[in-house]
Structure 1
Amino acid sequence: MNEVTALQKNITDQVSKRVKELESNGLALPPKYNAQNALKSAFFAISKVKNKDKEPAIKACSKESIANCLLDMVTQGLSPAKTQCYFIAYGNELQMQRSYFGTVAVLKRLKEVKDIYAEVIHQDDIFEIDSDDLGRIIVKSFIPKFENMDKPLVGAFAVVQKLSDEKVYTIMTKKEIDKSWSKTKAYKNTVQQDFSQEMAKRTVINRAAKMFVNTSDDSDLMVDAISRTTSNEYEDDERKDVTPKVEKTKKLAERFSKPEKKEPAQLAMEKAKQSEKAPEQPKNVIIEHEDEEMERHEPEQHSIFEAVNAK
């Protein structure tokens, strides 16, 4: 058994074991989804991936990042053999990203979603929008024309059809799409330019999916994997608390300085004993203590996949 084969068996065994644990805790994989076949396809795909230094990802990337990618893939029920996902090496870290087909397949697994699809709008296509009774944007008319298919893209829209048959629209102009593309790690590879139609559909579907994913009552394991895979392709996509500490302190001060509502009798009693009242504790002492407590109890962001660390 060579080194690569041994590594594949080691990581695959660990991922398979973790998947079984997650299934016992409520994770539901798609019907007829064969996780073992998907893992084999994934390793075949990873074996062809190289980082920017032309080093094979299977050797250059950490075992932990490979295992996390594979677990994210299985959790979402994706398969590289169906071109639903692909792998990219950033230095010594491997990341998985969904294709357009993968995003559609994953979102259809959400309980509220009956169907989801996207269309691109070319120059000179007929495209009109309106609003419904609640003021939400809807597509009033879309008439694409064959002779416009080679013309420049001017936008794209996605439609999420709920089980109730209600349709939720998301519309993006080409300027908005370009701005989204400019923040992706793969932008310099010009994949968006070479496959602009499919990438535009994928971009608008990812935006449409955010509300459904973040408000879904589906398995937190799957929702977490969906969100993490989406954020993999963007630079600086981590959610951080950017509130300055001075502002936090100010907010805490306002919280502690709110006047307490007291009964008239209580106010009279306090007024009579005002001369005997003990000096108040400095507010800054309370603020500092409270701020330390908040930081101490602030939940840390841990991956659910920390249990799958390759040894």
Structure 2
Amino acid sequence: MDVKPQNQIPNQQVPVTQSADLKRDISAQVLAKVDSFQKSGELMLPKDYVVENALKSAYIILSDPKNNLLAKCDKSSVAEALLKMVVYGVSPIKKQCYFIPYGTKLECSVSYAGNIAIAKRYGRLKAIKANAIFEGDNFEFEVDAATGRRKVIKHSQSLDSIGNSVLKGAYAVYELTDGTSDVEIMNIKQIQAAWGQGGSKGNSPAHKNFADQMAIKTVINRACKLLISSSDDSILYDPLEENDYVDTAKGRVQQEINDQANGDTLGFDNYDDVEILEEQHEEIIEAHSEVLQQEADQTTNDGPGF
């Protein structure tokens, strides 16, 4: 009876085994760190957040054969990205966060839906609702001299003003768990200044074609950032960036990631048009793969360097 030599094991089985070992290794690192945070009292996970389930869903996304970021990205950066996901208590399946490659380094990027979830969990946020202000709208607000809180007095629109090409600003009304409420208001200059922090400087197709929805996203992010950074758990969080773009190894690649997956839970019901932005996440991943392939081809053509 012939015995197949071990070195003739089908090639396709090796990556599967290596991938499984890599998952176990990274999972062990992340779980050990999370356990350390919990024992020291630095981290309290939500009751409805199961770390193991979040990691499994993340690995499904990272191991997608189309991109296989788990194999392409540095192992330590994968572990850091997964740890950030767990510390924030966000879910990639619910699209509260995305995994973005910067060259061979993986980053966990929290979406605006994730920011809302975090603000609800740690920032005493009960509900939030945002609207764009167009030219032709009648918008009035006041500031309470005693508390410094803002209040929208009037915002009336017409069929002609809705969707006007001239955007004047946006605001987000939010209520806290103690019953108090406040309003975050940004005029178009403030919004454009925030967009200017991103790689596109506010000139992406998304900003041009869906300026009102992008303005809504910006004002929501600002409101949530303040609530999160002022919470008791703020030490666990990095500043939540407003940048809408990321860099890959070669140049800037668009990252307009917007999500409506948790709309019912988070109290939003008018962001259908923004769903188109989510598709651009795939463009980032594909561009990342093209960059790595170009670098590999260049290395092959140039030969070894001395």
TM-score for both structures, normalised by structure 2: 0.63
Deviations 1:184-238 (A, max 9, x none): 24767645446544432232122223333333223632xx2xx345377688xxx
Q: 2:241 aligns with which of 220, 226, 230?
A: 230
Q: Does 1:19 align with 2:34?
A: yes
Q: 1:160 aligns with which of 159, 171, 174?
A: 174
Q: Is the 8 A contact 2:194 2:242 kept in 1?
A: no
The structural deviation recorded for 1:56 is: 5.2
Q: Does 1:131 align with 2:131?
A: no
The match for 1:82 is 94
Q: CA RMSD in A?
A: 3.1
Q: Is the 8 A contact 1:100 1:199 kept in 2?
A: no
Q: Distance in 2 between matches of 1:68 and 1:230?
A: 17
Deviations 1:82-106 (A, max 9, x none): 1111121112221122222111111
Q: Is the 8 A contact 1:107 1:116 kept in 2?
A: no
The structural deviation recorded for 1:107 is: 0.3
Q: Distance in 2 between matches of 1:155 and 1:197?
A: 8
| Distance change in 2, residues 1:14/1:232 (3 Å) | farther
Q: Does 1:35 align with 2:35?
A: no
Report sequence identity in percent: 36
The structural deviation recorded for 1:48 is: 5.1
Q: How many residues align?
A: 228
Deviations 1:276-310 (A, max 9, x none): xxxxxxxxxxxxxxxxxxxxxxxxxxxxxxxxxxx
Amino acid in structure 2 at the alignment position of 1:13: A
1:228-307 equivalences under 5 Å are 228-230=239-241
Which consecutive residues of structure 1, in runs of 5 or more, have no partner in the other structure?
236-311
Q: Does 1:211 align with 2:222?
A: no
The match for 1:263 is none
Q: Distance in 2 between matches of 1:162 and 1:104?
A: 12
SS of structure 1 residue aligned to 2:184: strand
The structural deviation recorded for 1:65 is: 1.7
Deviations 1:94-121 (A, max 9, x none): 1122222111111001253333332222
Deviations 1:253-294 (A, max 9, x none): xxxxxxxxxxxxxxxxxxxxxxxxxxxxxxxxxxxxxxxxxx
Q: 2:107 aligns with which of 73, 83, 95?
A: 95
Q: Does 1:45 align with 2:61?
A: yes
Q: Is the 8 A contact 1:49 1:89 kept in 2?
A: no
Deviations 1:120-144 (A, max 9, x none): 2233333212221335443221234
Q: Distance in 2 between matches of 1:88 and 1:207?
A: 22
1:105-116 equivalences under 5 Å are 105-110=117-122, 112-116=124-128
| Distance change in 2, residues 1:166/1:6 (3 Å) | same
The match for 2:288 is none
| Distance change in 2, residues 1:20/1:161 (3 Å) | same
Q: Distance in 2 between matches of 1:48 and 1:189?
A: 28
SS of structure 2 residue aligned to 1:150: coil
The match for 1:180 is 194
SS of structure 2 residue aligned to 1:151: coil
| Distance change in 2, residues 1:82/1:141 (3 Å) | same
Which consecutive residues of structure 2, in runs of 5 or more, have no partner in the other structure?
1-15, 247-306
The structural deviation recorded for 1:78 is: 0.7
Q: Is the 8 A contact 1:115 1:161 kept in 2?
A: yes
Q: Is the 8 A contact 2:221 2:242 kept in 1?
A: no
The match for 1:141 is 154
Larger Rg: 1
TM-score for both structures, normalised by structure 1: 0.62
Q: Distance in 2 between matches of 1:161 and 1:64?
A: 39
